[in-house]
């Protein structure tokens, strides 16, 4: 990939929610994409998700049917990572958030690609320096943190490891901008910029709830109508998952100390299996159709 938008060959490894979204936006901006996953069923589901993003684009009038079929023709499923990354100009990794899995994968990939291939990880919280720690040439490695759902979310947070070369930053910014994303460039510290801000706002909201400052609904309404946030902090936490957010808080507390200590209420809800939308109950309760009901934090 060069710093200008030139169609390239992009391999996306991991075909879950994020990988499918990344493959879709890459193909939608002219790149030839190979999508792969360790699980054949997950690869099928990922390709299906790409097709449904395209169908959705057509339905909403954002994509004409011919462009949608061209887009889909640019996405190929590959059964192995080896096949997916062969000849790639850039590899974007979006596998499970597990340091060992990501490290092993990048070590394998590095042996299969050209020395100038850009290597990017979509990790939400792991240090890029650690993810890329096993590479012979970490200078071409970087974080490209996309947000869910990728086609709708406008930011790509570019995370610069201590050993990332300046040219790699330029290339990653160029790639992201070519995908239609805005970029911010951040240093490789836990929580980057987005997760750290989100953690503070969410934690403060929990503490306010514990202190009886206002109800959860009113704290969310305050953020939405008074601060112009599109979502309230509790709506956001229920979407992200209370367990996922707790893991982020724990990592931030280890790095930055007490200011990031997760609230007792947050910990109790996770202990009780109240993980947010995905478990039907977090701060709020959800019915089978995912519609939000009230909140009962007494037990």
Ligand X SMILES: NC(=O)c1ccc[n+]([C@@H]2O[C@H](COP(=O)([O-])OP(=O)(O)OC[C@H]3O[C@@H](n4cnc5c(N)ncnc54)[C@H](O)[C@@H]3O)[C@@H](O)[C@H]2O)c1
Q: How do strand 155-160 and strand 141-145 relate by DSSP bridges?
A: antiparallel
The answer to whether residue 193 forms part of the interface with ligand X (CB under 6 A) is: no
Handedness of CA 124, 128, 134, 136 (dihedral sign): positive
Least distance (Å) from ligand X to the CB of residue 21? 8
| Cβ pair 36, 81 in contact under 8 A | yes
Total residue count of the chain as it appears in this document: 299
- Calpha distance 206→282 (Å, rounded): 12
- Calpha distance 234→219 (Å, rounded): 8
Binder among 29, 117, 124, 295 for ligand X (CB under 6 A): 124
**8-state DSSP, 282:** S
The answer to whether residue 147 forms part of the interface with ligand X (CB under 6 A) is: yes
Please choose, out of 1-9, 31-39, 176-184, 229-237, the segment that lies near ligand X by the rule CB under 6 A.
31-39
Looking at the Cβ atoms of 123 and 295, the one nearer to ligand X is: 123
Binder among 7, 42, 51, 107 for ligand X (CB under 6 A): 42
The answer to whether residue 203 forms part of the interface with ligand X (CB under 6 A) is: no
The answer to whether residue 19 forms part of the interface with ligand X (CB under 6 A) is: yes
Burial class (CB in 10 A: 0-12, 13-18, 19+), 264: exposed
The answer to whether residue 227 forms part of the interface with ligand X (CB under 6 A) is: no
The answer to whether residue 95 forms part of the interface with ligand X (CB under 6 A) is: yes
The answer to whether residue 183 forms part of the interface with ligand X (CB under 6 A) is: no
Binder among 34, 122, 203, 263 for ligand X (CB under 6 A): 122
Tokens 């590479």 label which residue?
135
The answer to whether residue 17 forms part of the interface with ligand X (CB under 6 A) is: yes
- Calpha distance 208→203 (Å, rounded): 9
Please choose, out of 118-126, 164-172, 203-211, 267-275, the segment that lies near ligand X by the rule CB under 6 A.
118-126
The answer to whether residue 216 forms part of the interface with ligand X (CB under 6 A) is: no
The answer to whether residue 38 forms part of the interface with ligand X (CB under 6 A) is: yes
- Calpha distance 159→169 (Å, rounded): 9
- Calpha distance 225→120 (Å, rounded): 37
**8-state DSSP, 138:** G
Looking at the Cβ atoms of 150 and 219, the one nearer to ligand X is: 150
Looking at the Cβ atoms of 78 and 205, the one nearer to ligand X is: 78
Task: Catalog residues that contact ligand X under the rule CB under 6 A.
Answer: 13-19, 37-39, 42, 81, 94-97, 101, 105, 122-124, 146-148
């Amino acid at each position: 990939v060069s710093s200008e938008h030139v169609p390239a060959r992009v391999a996306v490894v991991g075909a879950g929610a994020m990988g499918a979204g990344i493959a879709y936006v890459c193909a939608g901006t002219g790149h030839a994409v190979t999508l792969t996953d360790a699980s054949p069923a997950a690869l099928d589901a990922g390709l299906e998700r790409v097709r449904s993003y395209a169908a959705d684009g057509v339905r909403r009038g954002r994509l004409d049917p011919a462009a949608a079929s061209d887009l889909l023709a640019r996405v190929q499923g590959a059964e192995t990572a080896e096949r997916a990354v062969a000849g790639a100009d850039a590899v974007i990794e979006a596998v499970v958030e597990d340091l060992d899995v990501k490290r092993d994968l990048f070590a394998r990939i590095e042996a299969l690609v050209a020395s100038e291939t850009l290597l990017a990880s979509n990790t939400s919280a792991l240090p890029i320096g650690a993810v890329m720690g096993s590479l012979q040439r970490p200078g071409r490695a970087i974080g490209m943190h996309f947000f869910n759902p990728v086609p709708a979310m406008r930011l790509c947070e570019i995370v610069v490891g201590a050993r990332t070369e300046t040219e790699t930053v330029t290339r990653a910014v160029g790639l992201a901008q070519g995908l239609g994303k805005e970029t911010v460039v951040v240093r490789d510290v836990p929580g980057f910029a987005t997760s750290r801000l989100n953690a503070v706002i969410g934690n403060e909201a929990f503490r306010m709830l514990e202190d009886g400052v206002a109800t959860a609904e009113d704290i969310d309404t305050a953020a939405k109508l008074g601060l112009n946030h599109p979502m309230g902090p509790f709506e956001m936490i229920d979407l992200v998952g209370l367990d996922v957010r707790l893991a982020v808080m724990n990592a931030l507390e280890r790095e930055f100390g007490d200011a990031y200590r997760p609230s007792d209420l947050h910990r109790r809800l996770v202990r009780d299996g109240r993980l947010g939308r995905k478990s039907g109950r977090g701060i709020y309760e959800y019915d089978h159709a995912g519609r939000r009901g009230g909140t009962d934090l007494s037990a």
